[in-house]
Structure formats: structure tokens, C-alpha cells
Amino acid sequence: MLVIACPGQGSQKPGFLAPWLEVPGFADRLHWLSVVSGLDLEAHGTTSDAETIRDTAVAQPLLVASGLLSLLALFPRPDDAFSLVGMAAGHSVGEITAAAAAGVVSAEQAMVLVRERGRGMAAASATAPTGMSAVVGGDPDDVAATLARHGLVAANANGAGQVVAAGTTEQLAALRADGPARARVIPLSVAGAFHTEHMAPAVPELERLARAITTHDPRVLLASNADGTLLHDGAQVLRRIVAQVARPVRWDLCQQTFADRGVTGLLEVPPAGTLTGLAKRSLPGVETFALTSPDQLDDARAFVARHGEPSTVEGAPPWRLVVAPAKGVVHVQGPREEGAAVEPGAVVARVEGLRDGHDATAPHGGCVLEWLVEDGDPVAPGQPLVRLHPVGGAA
């Protein structure tokens, strides 16, 4: 199974888009997204310096645009991707890239949303001096206790022994002076304490914008940064993307979902390298591909062909299925009789895993056509549980 991974802020480097402008259609599409975002993304991706593209209001639209356009270069016919990609995920702002690539929102909606996300987070960062530091190594319990002692938040839990602490500059200075045993504390070049309550002022405007967006259910399953849950309801994807601005990123749980689902290949879109690096340390046996240059496109297509398999939502509209949100044992809670009505949002089953339990809900409701599992069965994340007919009886 193949997963497409979309990187987050901090992965961009000066000039990383320059070679991509030679790909037919890329420059014109980048110009279009520049007009939509109100930014000169061509300049920012080719000639702007590191300090310019470090600006949150610039970096975030640049990352989403580069991911979407490189995927169009990889899959000139997007429908081909939906028959090969098993799931997708994005780290932080990369969730917007993944959602747009999966068809939840249009490219234009994604660019407006990420433009306002970047502006809102930049404004929130300017209200107080905050930042982030990577904590690499150390005992996990000691790391957590040390962050708590200094009043810091584990804003990114990335797996592979890496946690990103976020808070005020004073709190981060205290962490550097009194860090966890056997751990390195590395200050990061970011503008603020992302994915913490410091970003809460950016959320209300994004919530308002989200209410104006008509979503579609994703064509492939999406792993959520909140807890690694696999999502197949477009409205829920968008709600989580908005809320995630002020909540920690659990990339470690996304990677656990990849492992539980049996992913064999992970392809990271430009500017690639960060997420494939984490996967190499956290997902032994999973082949990775960091797409950094158009010269790699033929090799990338061969990688996709080697690991691709039809999506579990291909051939059956997602609104007809309720799928397992996580790995565990399923306990049926909804009606089992053929033709029984299920209300929108109703919990039809609960999946109990080793860490915790997750409810499986029917976002759109309907009538039971057939249960695809038995009570007490072990299930994998994204595995179909019950098929529903959206309206009327079970005919």
C-alpha cells in the first residue's frame, strides 16, 4: 500500500521550486495559484532568500502550492492517483495539501484557506515572543516531565525520539539550560509557538471561512494529525484542519496508522526529505521516496506502480461506508438488521485498541445494507465495517 505524505513548515529551502518551472504547465499553474493567494509564489520558490520564505504568511501558501503542483506533474490524470494511492497525510499545514489532493476542497479553496491560516498564525505569533525547539533523544517520560516543568507544550510528537517543544522564549531558554537527560535541545527557526494555545487567535476566522466551503468526501483515506484516525468525511477533515492550528501534531500516531494499515511505500512531495527521514527511523521495512526534483518523476512513477493498490474507497462512494477509525477490536453498537435506519452522526461501532477506543460514526446516515464484520472481529484502520444506503430502504 502507498501513502502520499505532504510536508509542513520548515521544510522549504531557497530555490527549491526552480527546476520544477521547466515542467510543462507548472509555471502557468503556479502563476494561477499566485493570483489566488495574492503572493508571488514563483519568486518565493525560486529567488527569495531563506528569511523571506521563513515568514509564516509566505511559507504556508508556498508549501501547499508546491505540493499540489508536483502531484499534478506526477499524476497528469488525477484519477490515476485515486486508483493507486491507499491513503494520504500531511504534517501540519501539509494537511491542507493532502485534503486538496484528495478532493476534499479545490485548489483555489485550499489557497485561500492557507493564505488566511498563514496570516492569522503570523499575527498570533507577533503578540508575544514565542518559538519552538526540537528535543531529540532522552527518555520519553523524562522529556514529558521536563517540558511540563518548564510550562512547555509538546507541539509536535514526530516519533523516532523527536518531540518539538513550544512556548515563550523564556520557557525555551529555561529548557536549554535545564533539559532532559541524554537529550539534545535544538532551537528551530520558526516565527512562533505553532500548534499551541498561542495560536488560538487564528482559529475563529478560519472557522468562519470553513463554514463557507462546500466539501467533498476524500477519494482516498486521510490520516488526521490529531490522533492518526483515518477520515473519509470531508466536513470532518476540514473541521480538524481548522482546530489543529492550536492543537499538537501527532505525526507519531499517523505513522502508527501507516504501520497498522500495512503501508509498504511512502512518497513525500516537495520540498521532500523531512517526513521520509522520520519514516526511515520509525517505519522499518517501509520503502520511502523523497520527490525533490522533476528529474525523479519517472522513478517516482515506478515507485507508485510498485506499491500502489486500489483505495478502499474506490468503487464505492465513501458516504455509503463506515470504516474503522483505528486498529483494534470492533464492538457493534448500531442496528444490524437489513434496512434499519441509521441517523446522521450516529455511532454504529466502537473500536477498542491497545491505547484507547474510537467511535465509528455514520456521517451521513442511511439504511443498513450489510455489515462487513462481526462483533469482536479484529480490524485495521480504514477497514469497511458497514455499508449504508444513503436514502430510502435497502433496495
pLDDT digits (tens), the chain, 395 positions: 999 999 999 899 999 999 999 999 999 999 999 999 999 999 999 999 999 999 999 999 999 999 999 999 999 988 888 889 999 999 999 999 999 999 999 999 999 999 999 999 999 999 999 999 999 999 999 999 999 999 999 999 999 889 999 999 999 999 999 999 999 999 987 889 999 999 999 999 999 999 999 999 899 999 999 999 999 889 999 999 999 999 999 999 999 999 999 999 999 999 999 999 999 999 999 999 999 999 999 999 999 999 998 766 644 454 578 999 999 999 999 898 888 889 988 999 999 998 889 999 988 778 888 899 999 999 999 899 998 877 533 33
Residue 18: CB atoms within 10 Å: 13
CA atoms of 249 and 155, how far apart (whole Å): 6
Which residue among 70, 92, 125, 282 is the active-site one?
Answer: 92
Task: Please state whether beta strands 265-268 and 341-342 pair in parallel, antiparallel, or not at all (unpaired).
Answer: unpaired
Check if 37 is active-site: no
Sheet holding 87-90, edge to edge: 230-231, 221-223, 87-90, 2-6, 265-268, 287-290
User: How buried is residue 254: exposed, middle or buried, by Cβ count under 10 Å (0-12/13-18/19+)?
Assistant: buried
| CATH 3.30.70.250, applies to 127-187 | yes
Number of helical H runs and strand E runs in the chain: 14, 18
CATH 2.40.50.100 in the chain: give the residue spans. Answer: 318-389
CATH 3.40.366.10 residue ranges of the chain are 2-124+197-307
Residue 195 annotated as catalytic: yes
How far apart are the C-alpha atoms of 249 and 234, rounded to whole Å? 19
Catalytic residue among 44, 91, 195, 198: 195
Give the closest residue to 68 by CA, choosing from 121, 129, 117, 25. Answer: 25
DSSP 181: T
The closest alpha carbon to 133, from 155, 160, 159, 161, belongs to: 155
- What architecture is the 318-389 domain classified under in CATH? Beta Barrel (2.40)
* Backbone torsions φ then ψ of 144, nearest 5 degrees: -60, -45
* 144 burial via Cβ count (<10 Å: 0-12, 13-18, 19+): middle
Q: Is 222 helix (H, G, I), strand (E, B) or coil?
A: strand
User: What is the length of the chain?
Assistant: 395
Q: Rounded to an integer, what distance in angstroms lies between the CA atom of residue 374 and that of residue 222?
A: 25
Give the CATH fold of the 2-124+197-307 domain. Malonyl-Coenzyme A Acyl Carrier Protein; domain 2 (3.40.366)
The ranges of the chain annotated as CATH 3.30.70.250 are 127-187
Residue among 292, 237, 284 at smallest CA distance from 268: 292
Angstrom CA distances, 170 to 132, 177, 183, 386, stand at 11, 11, 19, 52
